[in-house]
Chains A and B, each alone.
Chain A
Amino acid sequence: TQLLEQSPQFLSIQEGENLTVYCNSSSVFSSLQWYRQEPGEGPVLLVTVVTGGEVKKLKRLTFQFGDARKDSSLHITAAQPGDTGLYLCAGGETGANNLFFGTGTRLTVIP
């Protein structure tokens, strides 16, 4: 089983603050995806990174894939209450549709 450890597990911050969530593994993945899940809903894909060292930006969210394709980070600038949710990283293998999900980071942004 390929494990993806996320840190921190829980994060509670004030609106306007910055934060970084980490996703680490001892395994190499062909791609790394980040999802956000809200209560009572399924995860929604935010981004996919495939190249070691790749950086992608989605408005106030910045995603980075580690050079060795074993780890990733998600940085949120000026967090807003709408960013509240469970953030999940997921590693994928070439040619397979089974993702290995991380342990999750539950983010709460307080107005």
Chain B
Amino acid sequence: KAGVTQTPRYLIKTRGQQVTLSCSPISGHRSVSWYQQTPGQGLQFLFEYFSETQRNKGNFPGRFSGRQFSNSRSEMNVSTLELGDSALYLCASSSPGQANEKLFFGSGTQLSVL
């Protein structure tokens, strides 16, 4: 079974630009969560999608948005990039209904904002 796939692996953008990251969950998984990881703040929850609906949202500004498609693939978008948005963005999928909903993480997209 293929794992969680995130593309691209690395991305370099400049301030003010916007970026779209993609995540393909494990086949059969319908829940996709996004996390931001930085050296200073650690791993922080961005949002979770299930059946194309945002089910949960973390404390991030509206510049961070996402969506989920009917095949469970998900994208997240960051508009008007700031230097502080430089981070590893991780996507995790899970199969709701499992006890404690085990999360499977992708390898992440490393975003650098210059």
Contact = CB atoms under 8 A, between A and B. Distances in A.
Interface of A: 1, 31, 33, 40-45, 48, 50, 88, 90, 92, 96-104
B4 interface: yes
Contacts of B94: 97
A42 B102 contact: no
A104 B42 contact: yes
B42 A42 contact: no
Interface residues of B, number: 27
B59 A1 contact: yes
Given A1-B59, A100-B45, A101-B44, 11 more contacts: A41-B107, A45-B102, A48-B100, A50-B100, A92-B100, A92-B101, A97-B94, A97-B101, A98-B33, A98-B45, A101-B35
Interface string B31-46: 1010100000011110
B16 to A, nearest CB: 28
Contacts of B15: none
Contact of A42 (B48, B101, B108): B108
Interface in B70-102: 90, 92, 94, 96, 100-102
Q: Which of A41, A97, A102 has the most CB of B within 10 A?
A: A97
